[in-house]
Structure 1
Amino acid sequence: MTGHEPSTALPRRLLERPDVRAALAAHDFGTVFHVARTEAGISYSMIAAECGIKPERVGTLAKGHGRVTTFEKVVRIADALRIPGRLVGLSRRPWETTPEEDAMPERREFLKASAAASLAVGLPDLARPSSRGRVGRDLPEKLRQRTARLRRLDDVLGGGDTYRTYLGEYQSTRSLLRSRSYTEETGRGLLSVLAEQAQQAGWAAFDGGRHAEARGLYEASQKAAADAGDDALAGNALAFLAYQGLRGDRQDRQDAVQTAARSCATAGPDAVPRVRALLYERLAWAHAVAGQGDETERALGAARDALAEADGTPQPDWAAWVDETELQIMSGRCWTELNRPLRAVPVLEAALARYDDAHARDKALYLSWLADSYLTAGEIEQAASVTGRALDLSRGVASERPRERLAPVLRRLVEHQALPAVATVLEQARS
């Protein structure tokens, strides 16, 4: 960390404490404020001034009453207390100048802290659900909030790290549904959460190379969402199944296109904008992999139209990450797949310039499509440079997908290994 340090900057020794890390991962800033005052001598009034929070509110939070829930406030607190972004589920902050050259230990520590914190915020112990008692009607929302919090792990960790945590959440909720009593309305809420958790676990399984487990979880998610009457989640489960099906042969890809179209129809025209944008994005990708250019363009247009309707109304957390940058990246991926580098390169370059390296897995994946398009355009040295960046980012990430995506790019580069830039990146890949 360099530059001006605010008077509220937490000492490194406190940031390294397991209890503080667990509190940060859970966004339990009241505990953090209390520790800051009692062990670092930072007064509540100083915290209030730097964080833009009323002094009495800081004191209330420090007593364990209430929580910080808005993204903007989390960012303000992180910057004021100089809390590294990875500890609170944010990308690397502008004042963090040390690159994450070997981020694996920190990622794993973040996983442990977050998983522990998720069970320490007053929620039931779902690992051992009681066979007695009636579930309160507020439990589905509490579980949904915890699921959203744990989803942030996917920003910095691969499926090899998160799968067991996500699977455990799904299994705990499933056990609770089987062993406890609840009203019909609460049961529908729990089934909806179960569907969301199954998708989260399925995605981690897919990312970690556990494809059979992923399919089983997606199918279980679709059933739970349908039983809950949650059309948006049911549509998203179909979209996940379509995405996975694109890995197969030509017939599998054609089937995946139909499944992706069914996902949009299942969610329906009344789904909130970001959900529709997400499903149309995945439909566009299915068309692109199937080599259907006109259909790809129409689906991308539908995704853009849906995203343009977003007006700040609440969106489900599982679709909230869909924004203009993500749509640009998907567009570039589609044009790469359709061998149209003149369309792919500009949008990928522009979008990835805004994409934080802290999201190492995703950025490595997206760079692989950029490298692919540069190769198709005959820009070999540029392709080698981009591939090198992707290799650097993917190092230490517990995900199969960057390596899978980069393998064909590297095979194409072998044809040009006489070029020094290519020889360098091929040696980097071997090491």
Structure 2
Amino acid sequence: MTTTGRIGIAEVERFENAVDVLRALDYRQGGAFSHDAVRVVRSVSLLLDWGAIPGGLRSRLLTMLADLHNLLGWTEFDIGRRVAARLRFDRALGLAAAAGNDGLMANICYRLGRLALHHDDVEGGLNHLRHGQAAAHRSGSLRAQAILTINEAWALAKAGDERAALGSLARAECQFEHADDWATARPWEAFFGTTDMAAMRGTVLTELAGTVASRYSEEAIARLRDAVDGYGAEMSRSLALTLIMLAQNHALQGDFDEAVHTGTRAMDLARGLGSTRTKDRLAPLAALLREHADDPASRDLLARIDSYRAEPAP
């Protein structure tokens, strides 16, 4: 804070940079590694309560605090704390509304949708995603619109609504065609580019392979391989989740040699992450391996998965 007791742009930028560092840590190592963010929340909340903030900076500081609660909600989700995650997201949504930031509101709704979908609440997930779509349209962010549309496709695929899922997937692909014209990404949505779009295409098709017809697994494999090739070490959690789905599709096609090879790679990566989502997302692969447990390699990987999933949460 400045010597006059007023908050200046330097203080706000310092906190924004701290959030960026925490976000990068979350992408790379998972939610269990990002609890230092709580201290930043307390500091910023005190500034908002007691600091003398110029009018032009108050909205920016509110946005930053909303973004931080959004990140904390994601980390709580990642380590299996559903109620705590929902509380953080709700707080983030209120702050983003106070800041008048529709783009951030859209992103928070996307994350609320993902939380619901992870727990198989498809109706709740679709409700959040559609509220997010409205906010994305108000914001004019084409990136936000694409994120929400592709996740809507995933939700519809989980419900087994083939026609609607493919329709949303086609709309998302159309929106993504204009990615070169997108404005510079805000920090909370910067993850979404060519690689994550490929991963989400593969995710939708993987879901359809399980709920509608296994024929979707062939294209899912191609899209997931594209994503695997695109993810670097800075996105280790996304890479692990993508490898899990890739192994699942190989198992659906009856190629258990490749399923075991890819699943082993996913397991090696997942063990270094502070994430329970990887454990949850291994359940379909484990079920497929269990049906093929007469094969020694499949049986060995299944034992590793069962042991990993039985470990206490981080």
TM-score (normalizing by structure 2): 0.87
Counterpart of 2:256? 380
Aligned mates of 2:17, 2:182 — CA distance in 1: 19
For 1:356 and 1:248, the matched residues in 2 are separated by 28
- Ranked by relative contact order (alpha carbons within 8 Å, sequence separation 6 or more), the top structure is 2
User: Aligned-pair distance for 1:225?
Assistant: 0.5
Structure 1 residues 183 and 355 mapped into 2: Cα distance closer, same or farther (>3 Å)?
closer
Q: Does structure 1 residue 307 correspond to structure 2 residue 176?
A: yes
Mapped to 1, the partners of 2:268 and 2:10 lie a distance apart of 45
Q: Distance in 2 between matches of 1:312 and 1:212?
A: 34
Specify which of 226, 241, 244 is matched with residue 97 of structure 2: 226
Is residue 2:145 matched to residue 1:276?
Answer: yes
Q: Distance in 2 between matches of 1:330 and 1:241?
A: 17
Unaligned runs of 5+ in 1: 1-123
Matched, 1:157 2:26: no
Equivalent residue in structure 2 for 1:200, among 61, 68, 71:
71
The 1-side partners of 2:193 and 2:65 are apart by: 26
* Mapping for residues 5-404 of structure 1, pairs under 5 Å: 133-137=5-9, 139-162=11-34, 164-248=35-119, 252-268=121-137, 270-309=139-178, 310-311=180-181, 313-339=183-209, 340-356=216-232, 359-404=235-280
Aligned length: 300
Matches of 1:301 and 1:388 in 2, distance apart? 33
Look up the equivalent residue of 2:247 and give its one-letter code. Answer: A
Is 1:194–1:224's contact at 8 Å kept on the other side of the alignment? Answer: yes
- Tell me which amino acid in the other structure corresponds to 2:194: E
Answer yes or no: is the 8 Å Cα contact 1:385–1:421 preserved in 2. no
Contact 2:107 2:189 in 1 (8 A): no
Task: Normalising by structure 1, report the TM-score.
Answer: 0.64
For structure 2, list consecutive stretches of 5 or more residues without a partner in the other structure: 210-215, 309-314
| Contact preservation (8 Å) 2:26, 2:33 | no
Shift of 1:306: 3.1
Could you tell me the percent identity over the aligned residues? 29
| CA spacing shift, 1:371–1:229, aligned 2, 3 Å | same
- Bigger mean CA deviation after superposition, 387-396 or 147-156: 147-156
Measure, in 2, the Cα distance between the counterparts of 1:216 and 1:277: 26
What's the C-alpha RMSD, in Å, of the aligned pairs? 2.4
Aligned residue for 1:17? none
Amino acid corresponding to residue 307 of structure 1 in structure 2: F
Identify the range of structure 1 (147-156 vs 334-343) with the bigger mean alpha-carbon deviation: 147-156
Whether the aligned pair in 2 keeps the contact of 1:385 and 1:425 (CA below 8 Å) is: no
Measure the CA separation in 2 of the matches of 1:428 and 1:247. 23
- 1:45-75 CA-partner distances (Å, limit 9, x unpaired): xxxxxxxxxxxxxxxxxxxxxxxxxxxxxxx
| 1:387–1:406 Cα contact (<8 Å) kept | no
Shift of 1:229: 0.4
